[in-house]
Structure 1
Amino acid sequence: MWEKRSGQICPEIHYKDTNQGIVITSCYGIEGQIILPDEIHGVPIVGIAPYAFAENREEEEGVSVWEHEDASLVGKRNRICGTSVTEIWLPAQVREIGRYAFYRCRNLKRLILSDSLLDLGGGALTGCHLEEVEIHFFYGERCCLKSIVDEMRYAIRTKLYYENGMAQVLFPEHYEEAVENTPARILVTHHHGAGGYYRQCFYDRKLDYKKYDELLYHTVAEEQPDVAAELVLNRVRYPYQLSKAAQDAYEVYLREHVEVAADVLITAEDIEGLHFLSLGNYWTPEALEHAVKKATEEKKTEVLSFLMNEKHRCFPKKKKTFEL
Structure 2
Amino acid sequence: MRCIDGENELILTCETQAEGVCILRCETRDPVVLLPDEIDGAPVTALGRYVLSGRAPDLSGRDTFSVRVTCGGPLPVHEADSIRAVTLPKHARTVGSYAFYNCRSLEELTMTDSVSAFDGGSLMNCLSLHRIRLLAPPGGATCLPKILGETASELDVRFLHGDTCTPLLFPAYTEELEDLSPAHIFQRRIHGAGYSYRQCFDGAALNFRQYDRALSELAERHDFAIAARVAVRRLAAPFALSDSARADYLAVLREHGGPLACALAKQGDSVSLHVLLSLSVLSDAGIDAACTAAREAGQTAALSVLLAAAGPSKPRGRAKTFDL
Residues 1:267 and 2:266 aligned together: yes
Report the alpha carbon displacement of residue 151 of structure 1 after superposing the two structures with TM: 1.0
Structure 1 residues 273 and 83: CA distance shift in structure 2, 3 A: same
User: Tell me, which stretches of 5 or more residues in structure 2 are unaligned?
Assistant: 318-324
Cα distance in 2 for residues equivalent to 1:314 and 1:259: 21
Aligned-pair CA distance for 1:280 = 2.4
Gap runs ≥5 in structure 1: 1-5, 319-324
Residue type of the alignment partner of 2:72: L
Q: Is the 8 A contact 1:291 1:307 kept in 2?
A: yes
The 1-side partners of 2:120 and 2:234 are apart by 31
Give 1:260 shift: 1.9
> Secondary structure in 1 aligned to 2:149?
helix
Corresponding residue of 2:67: 66
Alpha-carbon distance between aligned partners in 2 of 1:314 and 1:258, rounded to the nearest angstrom: 23
Say if 1:166 and 1:240, in contact at 8 Å, map to a contact too: no
CA distance in 1, matches of 2:159, 2:183: 46
- Structure-2 residue corresponding to 1:22: 21
Retained in 1: the 8 A contact 2:9–2:74?
no
Cα gap change, 1:25/1:302 in structure 2, threshold over 3 Å: closer, same or farther?
A: same
When residues 162 and 314 of structure 1 are mapped into structure 2, their CA distance, relative to the original with a 3 A threshold, is farther
User: 1:114-133 to 2 correspondence within 5 Å?
Assistant: 114-129=112-127, 130-133=129-132
**SS at the partner of 2:13?**
strand
Q: Post-superposition shift, 1:275?
A: 1.7
Kept in 1, the 8 Å contact 2:288–2:316? The answer is no
Instruction: Classify 1:297/1:248 alpha carbon distance in 2 versus 1 (closer, same or farther; 3 Å).
Output: same
* Aligned counterparts of 2:313 and 2:124: Cα–Cα separation in 1: 49
Report deviation, 1:88.
Answer: 0.7
For 1:14 and 1:308, the matched residues in 2 are separated by 54
Q: What CA deviation, in whole Å up to 9, does each residue of 1:222-280 have, x standing for no partner?
A: 26432111111110111111111101110111112220220232233221222223322
Change beyond 3 A, Cα 1:211–1:137: same
Change (3 A) 1:164 1:90: same
1:26-105 matches, within 5 Å, as 26-57=25-56, 60=59, 62-68=63-69, 71=70, 73-80=72-79, 82-105=80-103
2:188 is aligned to: 189
SS at match of 1:290: helix
Q: Secondary structure at the match of 1:14?
A: strand
Supply the distance in 1 between the matched residues of 2:139 and 2:290 (Cα, whole angstroms): 40
The 1:90–1:223 alpha-carbon spacing in structure 2 relative to 1, beyond 3 Å, is farther
- Which digits, 9 at most, give the CA deviation of each residue in 1:174-213, with x for residues without a partner? 0112233447764333211100100100111001100010
Describe the shift of the 1:218–1:139 C-alpha distance in structure 2 as closer, same or farther (beyond 3 A): closer
Question: Conserved in 2, the CA contact under 8 Å of 1:10 and 1:27?
Answer: no
RMSD, aligned α-carbons: 2.5
SS in 1 for 2:199: coil
Q: Which amino acid aligns with 1:275?
A: H
Shift of the alpha carbon at 1:317?
6.4
Q: TM-score, normalised on structure 1?
A: 0.87
Residue 297 (structure 2) pairs with residue 298 (structure 1): yes
CA deviation profile, 1:122-148 (whole Å, cap 9, x unmatched): 211122122110111279700110000
Indicate the SS of the match to 1:8: coil
Q: Structure 2 length normalisation: TM-score?
A: 0.87
Residue of structure 2 in register with 1:278 after alignment: 277
* CA distance 1:59–1:76, change in 2 (3 Å): farther
Structure 2 letter corresponding to 1:74? G
What secondary structure sits across from 1:309 in the alignment? helix
Higher mean C-alpha deviation, range 294-303 or range 175-184: 175-184
Q: Is the 8 A contact 1:229 1:264 kept in 2?
A: no
For 2:115, the aligned partner's letter is L
1:188–1:149 CA distance, 2 compared to 1 (3 A): same
Whole-angstrom distance in 2 between the partners of 1:289 and 1:310: 11
Q: Displacement of 1:314 after TM fit?
A: 5.9
Q: 1:216 to 1:293 in 2, by over 3 A?
A: same
Residue 106 (structure 1) aligns with: 104
Asked if the contact 2:133–2:158 (Cα under 8 Å) also holds between the matched residues in 1, the reply is yes
**Identical-pair percentage:** 27
Further displaced range: 190-199 or 295-304: 295-304
Q: Which moved more, 1:210-219 or 1:268-277?
A: 268-277
What secondary structure does 1:151 align onto? coil
Q: Give the Cα separation in 1 of the matches to 2:18 and 2:269.
A: 46
In the alignment, the residues of structure 2 paired with residue 183 and residue 229 of structure 1 have an alpha-carbon distance, to the nearest angstrom, of 43
User: Compared with structure 1, are the counterparts of its residues 54 and 211 closer, same or farther at alpha carbon in structure 2 (3 Å cutoff)?
Assistant: same
